[in-house]
Each structure stands twice: as structure tokens, then as C-alpha cells.
């Protein structure tokens, strides 16, 4: 299995409205932390997640979280 590209060693803390989002799991997207389709041709797929209300979230940018798409502090170990 290929390794994802580490975009940053800290999360993207963003305030998002209620809705469905697609988190980039490969690290190739130019629209981090969200998918822009750059994973095409790789074994990676975006992670869909839904928020039911406006929420501030910490989205993983190291792409190694055990709780995708949310940061779990793994960036401190990679």
C-alpha cells in the first residue's frame, strides 16, 4: 500500500456549516483538507463525513490519523 503525502504536521481547524464533505486521504489535493479528485489513479479514496450543525473541527493533514478525517494527534509521531 502506498503512503499518503503528509501535507502538514498540524491539523486544519475549520468552521464548517452543516452538510456533507469529502476529506482528502491521499494528500494530493490542492484544496486541502478537502478532496479535489487528485487521488484518481491511486488506491486512495476520499472520506465522506456529514455534519448536522455548524461545527469547528480539526481535520487531519498528516493523513495518518486513526480517526479519519479528524485529527487524533498522530502528526506528533510522523
12-45 per-position pLDDT tens digit: 999 999 999 999 999 999 999 999 999 999 999 9
Residue 34 belongs to some domain of the structure: yes
Tell me the CA distances in angstroms from 70 to 40, 41, 55, 64, one per residue in order: 22, 25, 13, 10
CB atoms within 10 A of CB 16: 15
Residue 50 belongs to some domain of the structure: yes
Residue 6 belongs to some domain of the structure: no
Residue 5 belongs to some domain of the structure: no
Residue 36 belongs to some domain of the structure: yes
To 5 degrees, how large is the angle CA 22–CA 32–CA 25? Answer: 55
Has this prediction a pTM greater than 0.85?
yes
Domain that holds residue 31: 12-76
Residue 2 belongs to some domain of the structure: no
Q: Where are the beta strands (DSSP E) in the chain?
A: 12-16, 19-23, 47-51, 55-59
Q: pLDDT over 70 for what percent of the chain?
A: 99
What is the tally of structural domains in the chain? 1
Which residue is listed with cell 494528500?
A: 27
Amino acid at each position: 500500500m502506498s503512503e499518503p503525502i503528509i501535507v502538514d504536521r498540524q491539523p486544519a481547524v475549520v468552521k464548517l456549516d452543516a452538510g456533507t464533505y469529502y476529506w482528502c486521504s491521499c494528500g494530493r489535493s490542492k484544496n486541502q483538507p478537502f478532496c479535489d479528485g487528485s487521488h484518481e489513479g491511486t488506491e486512495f479514496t476520499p472520506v465522506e463525513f456529514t455534519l448536522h450543525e455548524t461545527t469547528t473541527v480539526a481535520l487531519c493533514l498528516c493523513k495518518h490519523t486513526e480517526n479519519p478525517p479528524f485529527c487524533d494527534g498522530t502528526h506528533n509521531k510522523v
